[in-house]
Amino acid sequence: MSIEKTPYEPSRRYLLEIAYDGTNYSGWQIQPHCIAVQQILQEILTGLYNRQPIHLIGSSRTDAGVHAQGFAASFLTPVRPEIPPEKILRASNRLLPPDIKLRSVREVPLEFHARYDALGKAYTYVLNLGAPSPFTDRYAWRPIHRMDVEKIRAAVAMLTGTHDYSSFVVERNMIDDAVRTIYRIDVQTFGAFCCVTFVGNGFLYKMIRCLMGTLEAAGSGKFSPEDVRRILEARDRTKAPETAPPNGLFLMKVFYSEAERETFQLETLPFC
């Protein structure tokens, strides 16, 4: 516990589920010269605890411009004041800016770790196959080429399983191991929107946006499903197309139980 560097004996650990519109942020994690979601939320929690510093441990990072429906982060509370989870939820939501809101607050065991205890994550990437829209352009990518949803469906089948995803990672040299498991990729349509939901044990830096760049090329007919398989097997970033823009991507859920991970289902558009 000493690594937390809190000057007070910690009493409880709270787990937060956080939704945010990432448009105006540099991502989750605090960085110099940027405004990060972590910073905004830590400052508000620190205020609630009478300026005793609160440090949030996030389940992962998210890139600049990426959104979240269910980002997970935990913190150790100071001994006092004792603030029940429901009150943290209500007070924070009153104080937070409109583009960050808490979905839930619950107590977890002291030894819980938001990152190391995660059994996987679900991300949804939203494509708008229709007209430009003032309401959804910040939440969906409108590819220039005409998309065929059935071609996207055929291509995603090549990408599930346990693989070395080196073809779909930016800054490959920064990581030891690019092997990950994608349990499922669901392709669903809601009106003019096509949502691609990835459920995996973990994802590499910009991996989903790299995968979406390839799926866009598959959807436009540029690549066959067999081409997509070859790109995966090449383990070479230069073989895959451009990275898709961040604004279509939503971290939907961080799983701390296998049952949650197996039953996860996208019910509606992630920005509704």
Q: Which residues bind its own copies (CB under 8 A)?
A: 19-21, 67, 93, 98-101, 103, 131-139, 190-191, 193, 267-272
Candidates 197, 155, 162, 158; CA nearest to 180 is 162
CB of 143 to its own copies, least distance (A): 16
Q: How far is the CB of 34 from its own copies (least distance, A)?
A: 18
- Measure the CA–CA gap between 250 and 131, rounded to whole angstroms: 21
Nearer to its own copies, 183 or 271 (CB): 271
Which residue's CB is nearer to its own copies, number 116 or number 135? Answer: 135
Q: How far is the CB of 101 from its own copies (least distance, A)?
A: 5
Nearer to its own copies among residue 101 and residue 230 (C-beta): 101
Amino acid at 93: N
Beta pairing, strands 249-255 & 67-76? parallel
In this structure, are residues 250 and 66 in contact, taking their beta carbons and an 8 Å threshold?
yes
Nearer to its own copies, 71 or 203 (CB): 71
Q: Taking the complex as a whole, how short is the minimal distance between the CB of residue 192 and its own copies, in angstroms?
A: 9
Whole-angstrom Cα distance, residue 154 to residue 162? 18
| CB nearer its own copies, residue 177 or residue 267 | 267
- Of 20, 192, 195, whose CA–CA distance to 125 is shortest? 195
CB of 163: closest distance to its own copies in angstroms?
32
Active-site residue set: 63
